[in-house]
Amino acid sequence: MAKGLQRPPSLSKQEKRLYRSVVKKIKAAKDKQKRLALIETLTSTKEPWASAVLLDSLDDTNEEIRQLIVQELGERKDLDLELVAEKLDHPLWYVKSSVLNILGLKRDKSVLIHIEALLKEPNVEVRRAAASALGHIGDKESLPLLLQLTKDRNQFVRASAEKAINKVSKLRFT
C-alpha cells in the first residue's frame, strides 16, 4: 500500500480488498494514459472505497489526472469532508492545493478551520488555493481569513485573496 493511505474505517472486507487492489494497480501504472484511463473508469463508481482511492491518487504527478479527481470528488454528494481535510497534512504542495480545490467546490463552511491552518503555509500555490477555496465557500466567516491573505508577502496570493473577496461580496448581495 502507498504511504499515507487512509481508507474510511466503515469499509467491508471486500471493499478494503477492492480498495487495495485498485490503488496498487494505479500506483503500478507508469504510463500517464493508463493511469488516466483507470481514474476515468473509477469515477463511475460512487462507492466510498472509490472515493478513498481517488483521494489517495491526488499524489499523481500529472496535473490532468489531479484535475479530473478534483472535479469528480467536488461533485460527490456523500463525500466525507473530514477524510478529505486529513489530506491537508500531505507533504506534497500539489496534493494540498488539490484538496483545497475539492473543499472549495463542496462549499461547506465546516471546513474553514482546516483552511485557516494553511494560511501560513510556506508554499505560495497552497496559499493561493486556500484563497480560492475561501472564495468558493463564500460564507461571511471566510472574509476575516481572506483579509489575512490580502496582507500576504506574495503578490499572487494577495491578488487571489482580493478576487475571492469580490466573489464573496457578490454572493452576499445576490
- DSSP H or E stretch at residue 97: helix 93-106
In order, the DSSP letters of 4-71 are T----TT--HHHHHHHHHHHHHHHH--SHHHHHHHHHHHTT--SHHHHHHHHHGGG-S-HHHHHHHHH
- Provide mean pLDDT across the span 5-11: 59
Structural domain contains residue 88:
no
- What pLDDT is stored for residue 8 in this prediction? 55
Does residue 5 carry a pLDDT above 60? Answer: no
Of the candidates 117, 92, 113, the residue with the CA atom closest to the CA atom of residue 3: 92
- What pLDDT is stored for residue 18 in this prediction? 93
Question: How many domains, in total, are found in the chain?
Answer: 2
Looking at the structure, tell me whether residues 115 and 164 fall in a common domain.
yes
Looking at the structure, tell me whether residues 62 and 115 fall in a common domain.
no
Identify the domain containing residue 59 by its residue range. 14-79
Please tell me the distance from the alpha carbon of residue 29 to that of residue 58, in angstroms, as a whole number. 15
Does residue 100 carry a pLDDT above 70? Answer: yes
Burial letters 6-40, b for 16+ CB under 10 A, else e: ebbeebeeebeebbbebbeebbebeeeeebbebbe
- What pLDDT is stored for residue 9 in this prediction? 56
Please tell me the distance from the alpha carbon of residue 115 to that of residue 150, in angstroms, as a whole number. 15
- Provide mean pLDDT across the span 64-73: 98
- What pLDDT is stored for residue 164 in this prediction? 96
Q: Which of 28, 57, 79 is the last residue of a domain?
A: 79
Report yes or no: 40 and 68 within 8 Å, Cβ to Cβ: yes
Looking at the structure, tell me whether residues 166 and 131 fall in a common domain.
yes
Structural domain contains residue 1:
no
Does residue 148 carry a pLDDT above 90? Answer: yes
3-class SS string, 76-87 = CCCCCHHHHHHH
Q: How many Cβ atoms sit within 10 Å of the Cβ of residue 110?
A: 13
Length reported for the chain: 174
Does residue 116 carry a pLDDT above 80? Answer: yes
Q: What pTM did the predictor assign? A: 0.90
Structural domain contains residue 70:
yes
Mean pLDDT is lowest, of 8-22, 109-123, 128-142, 152-166, for 8-22
- Provide mean pLDDT across the span 103-130: 97
Does residue 59 carry a pLDDT above 90? Answer: yes
Q: What are 119-133's pLDDT values in tens digits?
A: 999 999 999 999 999
Q: Which of 34, 52, 79 is the last residue of a domain?
A: 79
- Provide mean pLDDT across the span 95-122: 97
